[in-house]
Amino acid sequence: MRKSYRLSIVTFAALSLAGCGIFFPTAKDRAAKQTPGFQNGYSDGCASASAQGTNYRGDKVRDDAAYQSDKHYRAGWASGFANCRTPSQTDPARPDAGPVPDNNPGSHPY
């Protein structure tokens, strides 16, 4: 009994400390977000997500050369694309979950 109690406390402490590494970025991660490459990538990724919501061809706004060569640009583009997507883009099962609220819920033919 005492051994399993001790094991559960150690496991809980290890998981708690591991969570800190996930939720709190390091100084290196914060500095990377301040680079021009990350900021340009974030802007382009956000523009791509916005264009995808309005343009059904899904044109991407992306500097392919920078995307291939600059890890900060690539990380910024992915972050901007993920953060700027609307709920209807992330959950295809909910086509009514767009940025404009539905004033007549339940009245759709689908």
pLDDT tens track for 8-64: 777 777 766 666 556 677 788 888 889 999 999 999 998 888 776 555 555 788 889
- Whether residue 99 is contained in a domain is answered as no
- Whether residue 97 is contained in a domain is answered as no
- Whether residue 29 is contained in a domain is answered as no
Number of structural domains in the chain:
1
- Whether residue 74 is contained in a domain is answered as yes
Location of structure tokens 């600059």: 70
- Whether residue 22 is contained in a domain is answered as no
- Whether residue 47 is contained in a domain is answered as yes
The answer, yes or no, to whether residue 85 has pLDDT greater than 70, is yes
CA distance 32 to 78: 14
How large is the angle between the packed helices 36-54 and 71-83, nearest 10 degrees? 40
The answer, yes or no, to whether residue 99 has pLDDT greater than 60, is no
Q: Find the domain containing 60 and state its range.
A: 34-86
Which residues are CB-contacts of 37 (< 8 A; sequence separation ≥ 6)? Answer: 66, 70, 72, 73, 76
CA dihedral (18, 20, 38, 27) positive or negative: negative
Write down the pLDDT at residue 36. Answer: 93
- Whether residue 10 is contained in a domain is answered as no
